[in-house]
Each structure stands twice: as C-alpha cells, then as structure tokens.
C-alpha cells in the first residue's frame, strides 16, 4: 500500500513499519514544530472519540494523517483512563469501517483481513471465510444473526456480505487497538504533549457531566445498585453486553423513568450497535407490545452472572429497584444534614456570597455549562 492508503488504515502492521522507517525520530515527531500538524490531528482524533465519532479531515496531508495515529495512541496512553481507552479504540475501529465500506478495491480488504489472520476470498456478492476465522471474529457480537448456527456452512466456509466482512474487521481493529494500550510512554513525551492532554481531559470531564445531567435527567446515578453501575459503565465504555445484562440495565432505567431515546443513546457506543434493533428491544421492554417489564431480582442477577460489586446495603435488599429507593432515602437524609450545616455558616460567608454581582454569577454559570471551544467539532476540522 502507498502512503495515502496507509493513512486510511494506520493500525496495519505495514503502516507501523512505514512510520518506523521514516527519517524523523519519535522524539522529533513529539516535540518538533515541523510536526505540529500531525500532533493537532492526533488531538482531534482523541477528542472526537469522546464527543462523537472520528471524522475525515481532507485538509491534512497523507503523512500528517498517518503520523497522527501513533501520536493519538501516545496521548491516550499518557492519560491512561480505561473508559477513554475503550472509547478511543471503538471510535478508531468505526472510523476505519467507514473507509472500508467505501473501498472499491477488494484486494485491499483482503490484505487488511490477512493482517488480522483472516484468510478470505472473494465470493458471489461478498466474501468467503473459514468458519474458524468467522467464530474468532464474531466472538464479541451479541446479535443472533452472528451466531454460526444461523449461517450456512459449506465445506467449512461461510459466505458473508461486504458489510459483514468489514464489520468483522472492525471488531478485529477495536480489539487490536484496545489490547495494545496503554503504551509504555516516557514521561518526557507526556510532558511535551501536556497542552493536548489537558484539553482531552477537560473534554472527557465535560462529557461525563453531560451524561450525568442529560442522560439521567433528575435521576440519581449515585444511588444505583453496584450491579447497575457496573453494567452502565460497561455500556458507556463500548462493551458488548450479553442479552440478560442488556435486559437488566434497560428495564431498570425504564422503571426509574428514563425515556426510550435516552436509553438508545446510551447503547450508541456499543461496538455492535444497531439503532433499529435497539429501539425495537427497548420499546418492547417498555411495554410497546402491551406488557412492560420489571428488572430481574437480585437472585436472578446472580444466576446470570450480572451481580457485581456487592456492598453492605445489598445484603438487606432483594431487588435492584428496592436498593435504589433505599439509597435515595439515605442520600436525602444526608442532604438534609448538609443543609442544616450550611444554615449555620458565618454571616461573613453569606455576605460574601451575596455581594457577588448577578452578571458575574451568570457568566460563571454559562462558562461552566458551555464546553470549551476545543471540544467542539467545528474547531477540530
């Protein structure tokens, strides 16, 4: 592949070899002003993985695009946050899939597959791969249509469409990127990239606040039982949940009055996300067919391996919803105590708070609610 093609697929072994053979050292790429463009693009890749999806940038030369990938991996490694790593790996994999879907050269797709030890051949209306490669690639897929039993097997081979083939490659890309992070990065590299790291961390914190405020409305995620917190973190981190886990999480959120749209948005970061199928399942659980569902009891959660991180309160509770209700009461009682303490604050503190001009307070509130400009997509183009 030439540089232009490698810039589309920078996760390939061939791309890494090409970067390694370049005249400039990694120190130059991290610190030299001459490489400001790939560093800027690397920052964009990581921030876009937090705020939405990585987007194509036609304004960057092929070499800058290619180099931005290893720099982005260094940025993610310096931050070393599990949630960011999962989001980044998934975003890069999905970005690659959009490229592969538009790929007219089937040989290129076969070459990418070979890099992941998937030996495919071109077949009618798509590709043909051995069932062992299919099982390995589809291991993380939860949808029933990916089960081998639902596929036609002929002489040990499975026929799949181009879309299905690139989806298998997407999963391979995601796993490769995720498993390779964090890198062992010298402290000096992280210091040199500190400006970008601060921006990325700021965007990540802002995104977390958005999920807390808009994703749950007036709900209290801090009162969720440990099992639901675990499933929620997994879903937001791009983990494919088993059917029983998805049902437990969805039914719980519906019963505390989240909307179907909010829950669908939550599952949007799943590697195997299908909006139409997800909407059908969520609305079915919500009672779209006449029967609404309650979340499973604690004993059922244990049976299906979805009981995680039991705490002291769990010992007194037999159902996730009862845990939530009791924890909210405890939280409300603690809030009342804090309110009493605040009322006993000194007059000087009250006067200081009252002296602040409304315009200043409004500006601070507006600044707190608005994402920094470098978190906005328009800035990242």
**Predicted pLDDT of residue 229:** 92
Instruction: Please give the backbone phi and psi of residue 257, each rounded to the nearest 5 degrees, phi first.
Output: 75, 30
Q: Check: pTM over 0.85? Answer yes or no.
A: no
- According to DSSP, residue 121 is labeled E
pLDDT value, residue 170: 92
* CA atoms of 93 and 174, how far apart (whole Å): 5
Indicate the DSSP class of residue 295.
P
331 pLDDT above the threshold of 60? yes
Query: For the purposes of burial, counting CB atoms within 10 Å of the CB of 236, is it exposed (0-12), middle (13-18) or buried (19 or more)?
Result: buried
pLDDT of residue 344: 61
Whether residue 36 contacts residue 68, with contact meaning beta carbons closer than 8 Å, is answered with: no
Q: What is the mean pLDDT of the segment spanning 11-38?
A: 94
- The answer to whether residues 121 and 128 touch, using CB atoms and an 8 Å cutoff, is yes
CB-based contacts of 144, cutoff 8 Å, min separation 6: 150
| Rg (the chain; Cα; Å) | 24
What pLDDT is recorded for position 186?
Answer: 95
- pLDDT of 277 > 50? The answer is yes
Residue 165 has pLDDT above 80, yes or no: yes
Q: Of 140, 177, 143, nearest to 54 (Cα)?
A: 177
Query: For 77-99, how does the pLDDT look when each residue is reduced to its tens digit (9 = 90+)?
Result: 999 998 899 889 989 999 999 99
Q: Is the pLDDT reported for residue 35 higher than 80? A: yes
Q: Is residue 354's pLDDT more than 60? A: no
Structure tokens at 53: 């999806």
Quick one: pLDDT at residue 56?
A: 87
Strands 157-160 and 153-154: antiparallel
* pLDDT tens digits along 101-127: 999 999 999 999 999 999 899 998 899
User: For residues 10 and 66, is the Cβ–Cβ distance under 8 A?
Assistant: yes
Do 374 and 199 meet the contact criterion of CB atoms below 8 Å apart? yes
pLDDT number for residue 280 = 85
> What pLDDT is recorded for position 378?
38
pLDDT value, residue 197? 97
* Structure tokens that stand for 29 in this block: 């790429």
Residue 343 banded pLDDT, cuts 50, 70, 90: low
Mean pLDDT for all residues in the chain? 85
Residue reference for tokens 């470098």: 374
In 3D space, the residue among 295, 297, 186 whose CA is nearest the CA of residue 247 turns out to be: 295
Q: Phi, psi at residue 216, to the nearest 5°? A: -120, 0
Q: Are 178 and 109 in contact (CB under 8 A)?
A: no
Per-residue model confidence (pLDDT) at position 107: 94
Asked if 248 contacts 306 with a C-beta cutoff of 8 angstroms, the reply is: yes
Among 192, 199, 193, 143, residue whose Cα is nearest residue 171: 143
Q: Which of 135, 144, 19, 25 is nearest to 69 (CA)?
A: 19
Concatenate the DSSP letters of all residues of 152-202 into one string. -EETTEEEE-HHHHHHHHHHHHHHHHHHT-S----HHHHHHTHHHHHHHHH
Interval 148-158 mean pLDDT:
91
Coil, helix or strand at residue 348? helix
Q: For residue 286, is pLDDT > 50?
A: yes
> According to the per-residue pLDDT averaged within each range, which of 271-280, 307-316, 329-338 is highest?
307-316
- DSSP type of residue 37: H
Tell me the pLDDT tens digit for each residue of 217-246: 456 788 899 999 999 988 877 788 889 999
| 158-162, 231-235, 354-358, range with greatest mean pLDDT | 158-162
- Give tens-digit pLDDT for 189-212: 999 999 999 999 999 888 776 654
Cα dihedral 36, 40, 46, 47 sign: positive
């Amino acid at each position: 592949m030439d540089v232009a093609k490698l810039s589309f697929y920078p996760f390939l072994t061939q791309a890494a070899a090409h970067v390694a053979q370049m005249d400039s050292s990694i120190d130059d790429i991290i610190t030299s002003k001459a490489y400001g463009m790939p560093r800027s693009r690397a920052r964009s890749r990581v921030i876009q993985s937090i705020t939405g999806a990585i987007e194509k940038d036609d304004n960057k030369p092929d070499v800058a695009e290619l180099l931005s990938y290893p720099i982005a991996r260094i940025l993610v490694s310096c931050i070393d946050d599990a949630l960011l790593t999962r989001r980044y790996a998934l975003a890069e994999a999905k970005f690659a899939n959009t490229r592969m879907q538009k790929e007219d050269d089937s040989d290129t797709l076969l070459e990418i597959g070979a890099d992941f030890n998937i030996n495919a051949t071109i077949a009618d209306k798509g590709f043909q791969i051995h069932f062992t490669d299919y099982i390995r690639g589809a291991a993380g897929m939860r949808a029933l249509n990916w089960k081998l039993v639902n596929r036609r097997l002929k002489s040990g081979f499975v026929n799949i469409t181009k879309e299905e083939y690139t989806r298998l490659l997407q999963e391979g890309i995601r796993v490769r990127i995720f498993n390779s992070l964090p890198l062992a990065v010298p402290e000096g590299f992280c210091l040199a990239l500190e400006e970008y790291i601060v921006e990325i961390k700021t965007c990540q914190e802002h995104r977390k606040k958005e999920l807390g405020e808009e994703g749950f409305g007036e709900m209290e995620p801090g009162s969720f039982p440990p099992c639901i917190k675990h499933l929620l973190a997994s879903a937001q981190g791009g983990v494919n949940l088993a059917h029983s886990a998805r049902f437990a999480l969805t039914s719980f959120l519906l019963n505390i009055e989240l909307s179907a749209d909010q829950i669908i948005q939550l599952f949007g970061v799943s590697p195997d996300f299908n909006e139409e199928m997800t909407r059908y399942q969520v609305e079915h659980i919500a009672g779209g067919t006449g029967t609404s569902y309650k979340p499973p009891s604690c004993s059922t959660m244990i049976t299906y391996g979805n009981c995680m991180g039991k705490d002291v309160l769990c010992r007194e509770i037999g159902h996730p919803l009862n845990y939530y209700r009791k924890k909210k009461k405890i939280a409300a009682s603690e809030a009342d105590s804090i309110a009493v303490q605040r009322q006993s604050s000194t007059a000087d503190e009250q006067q200081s708070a009252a002296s602040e001009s409304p315009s200043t307070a409004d500006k601070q509130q507006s600044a707190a609610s608005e994402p920094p400009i470098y978190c906005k997509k328009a800035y990242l183009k």
